[in-house]
Structure 1
């Protein structure tokens, strides 16, 4: 079983609980409003062609489609894809959900106006290769916009037992950003891929929602960041 296979197996198993937590009704409307504002500021004016890589259960893809973008969403974890397809089917002009590798998306060069991801960079093998491939997919002036944080600055060994069964030492060794201690390490990956005007925006609206509603079990309350740059 490859490193990516083990990651896929973990997230397929996590998909139902992960999705149910993301969809909990007491926070759903506030989350949608906050994320819609974040992505609207980050991306070109709708309608644009957007690729959401590592889409998981499709939360970002659904928000982007709601903003009027033409969205293609990819992931490798079958459990996540199943949930994403269920969500996409509930709306007109929903995301097109496909199985695909975020490191090497199988699309022609210049296919998209933007590439997005959320909570992917930390668990992405070969992030420098991946972002370079995303840039290749962009049209001139296109945008890469990613959201993440420093989830495990003290190392993934401190995570839950079930998690480390899949994210073992071999997997962790292949994920350069998994134990990043600063968001600047993600910034550097985007800059080295040749993106211009790379900026970091603290997502205070999400931080405040986490204060109000709490964070997922096993997580710390911490700032998330939007990192974006232009081709």
Structure 2
């Protein structure tokens, strides 16, 4: 009998969760507000459109579809098939000239040519990355000169993942959490330190106050608390 790897267990959890997770992302009461707020976040962080962007851990394609609507050429990768199914459905109905393409791929080691993109994005993926420093180094190798890594995350479980609920902790048990250096980080500085350790330059941390205001007004996903989110960026030499 083959024992599932840490990544296999993470992927199975997010495939099971994909419908409920995506439905929450698409709630009518805040969908357009979210799009406007996140468009501001990514427009400030990325090169002007059109740029070639890799969205790692793309999930149901929220970031990738928004970036395509902003005029970027986007590839999204994920290992959770349930998430990719939702992402492709959204891309098919996006109504833009160049919708994002979605591929099965490992955020820790994307299978793209070196120097092939202008930016690497990721939203809510850093905390659940195995080998985050190695992952960011590989992202940096994909960038053209002056390219940027822009990731958004929070300290979701500073008191431990046991606060995340029964279904979550069944997937993110002690063995899985031990393989994820940022899963129980107490400060966003831990994420910024990963980008620095990977060799990125000009690493900055920006609190996303508009997103926090939306979360306070409209609530967050079941099992989560309202927590400040941050944009963390760094670049390669130009």
Give TM-score, length-normalised by structure 1.
0.99
Partner of 2:207: 202
Q: Residue 136 of structure 2: which of 131, 134, 138 is its match?
A: 131
Partner of 2:158: 153
Q: What is the CA distance between 1:221 and its match in structure 2? A: 1.1
Partners of 2:33 and 2:163 lie apart in 1 by 31
Partners of 1:220 and 1:17 lie apart in 2 by 17
Residue by residue over 1:137-175, the C-alpha shift from the partner in whole angstroms, topping out at 9 and shown as x without a partner, is 000000000000000001112221111111111111100
Q: What is the CA distance between 1:217 and its match in structure 2? A: 1.4
Q: What is the CA distance between 1:215 and its match in structure 2? A: 1.4
Alignment of 1:12-23 (within 5 A): 12-23=15-26
Q: Which runs of no fewer than 5 residues in structure 1 stay unpaired?
A: none
- Give the ranges of 4+ consecutive aligned residues of structure 1 lying more than 2 Å apart after TM superposition: none
Partners of 1:105 and 1:192 lie apart in 2 by 19
Partners of 1:44 and 1:128 lie apart in 2 by 23
Alignment of 1:212-223 (within 5 A): 212-223=217-228
Q: What is the CA distance between 1:30 and its match in structure 2? A: 0.3
1:180 aligns with 2:180: no
Partners of 2:43 and 2:34 lie apart in 1 by 14
Partner of 1:27: 30
Partner of 1:7: 10
SS class of match (1:146): strand
Partners of 1:107 and 1:210 lie apart in 2 by 35
Q: What is the CA distance between 1:129 and its match in structure 2? A: 0.6
Partners of 1:176 and 1:200 lie apart in 2 by 19
Partner of 2:148: 143
Partner of 1:227: 232
Partners of 2:59 and 2:218 lie apart in 1 by 22
**Could you tell me whether the CA contact under 8 Å between 2:124 and 2:152 is conserved in 1?**
yes
Greater shift, 154-163 or 15-24, is seen at: 154-163
Partner of 1:56: 59
Q: What is the CA distance between 1:71 and its match in structure 2? A: 0.2
Partners of 2:21 and 2:211 lie apart in 1 by 17
Partners of 2:220 and 2:102 lie apart in 1 by 27
Partner of 1:119: 124
Partners of 2:11 and 2:17 lie apart in 1 by 10
Count of matched residue positions in the alignment of Structure 1 and Structure 2? 231
Partner of 1:164: 169
Residue by residue over 1:40-80, the C-alpha shift from the partner in whole angstroms, topping out at 9 and shown as x without a partner, is 00000000000000000000001100110000000000000
Q: Residue 43 of structure 1: which of 30, 36, 46 is its match?
A: 46
